Structure 1
Amino acid sequence: MKKPFTQKIIPIQPVPVDAAADSVFSLSDEQGKIYPRSVGGFFTRLRWLMVWVTQLVFYGIPWLQWNDRQAILFDLAGSRFFIFGLVLHPQELIYLAVLLVLAALTLFFFTAVAGRLWCGYACPQTVYTEIFLWLERITEGDRLARMRLDNAPWGLEKILRKGAKQGLWIGLGLFTGFTFVGYFTPIQDLV
């Protein structure tokens, strides 16, 4: 004959909370600042080449003239899209949709075939991270100099260096925003 199943009851005892152990697992603890160091080599030079190429294309295209007008302009107010010699109106939106689908498929294909190349060399996040880190190195110095500066008490040098970095960052952000608006408004009129 089979023995009847007896259920064991394990009592649950509350565990006292240790304040030090609780802070280890807190999600709201302030993390230490990360100080990236400069690296060199072939792939770093290749990344900087791609930074230059992508930024020259992004910042340069709005200034490019084509048949006495801006080469690429998405004139939303006038309901026209100028792409070099091509002028698209709302009734020709299918052509623009085809162009955008082709651009998206090209992007998807490139990232599927060589995604790490995109992420490591041409992705806007990578490109702007490199630019902002470069501006930080210019104003605050290398990794050790930045660490010393952050640990130093507030003084004139620290204020000037931090202020210069923030000023350059804000200037780059404003110039990038101005250029982006230049794709939708004639940039020479915008100036």
Structure 2
Amino acid sequence: MNVAVRLPAHLKADCSACAALCCVIPPFDALQGFGFDKPAETPCQHLCADHRCGIHEALIPRGFEGCVAFDCLGAGQRLTALAVERFGSADWRARPDVARWLFAAYPRMREAQEWLARLTLAATVAGSDELKALATELAAQAPQWPGWSAAEHAGWQARVAAALAPLARE
């Protein structure tokens, strides 16, 4: 059986609705296709003031295959929108309070968005109402993801792993 499955729009990166979080928050490693090493929470040297890439049209020839391959699965725009709701701005350059919040929240948001993508794809492929319900429940928690306690995070991590484990055995 060959089933074409695509992620819904809210699980795809939309760089036009993001404050370039993937160009600032995670570290870059030249050996992984990022052109140069960059420490975490440091803007890429090619990032423009408008949060756009200055070499976007030439990423591969310039050695940035990792940027082309990276997908935040919608975490960047979701977190940017939450920052605007919470602070009235997602301007991490001008607002240290926003920067601290975004930088702390991004890894958790990215991971939760990945769980949501996995659950959504698995529910579609397996035709599972249980996985769909868990994905819906997780998605409803999205505004709380940045503030999850370690226990809440671990609890969801365990729930997602347990829900997907049976599919790994098939």
TM-score (norm 2): 0.29
Query: Which has the larger share of strand?
Result: 1
Q: Highest CA radius of gyration, 1 or 2?
A: 1
* Higher RCO (CA < 8 A, seq sep 6+): 1
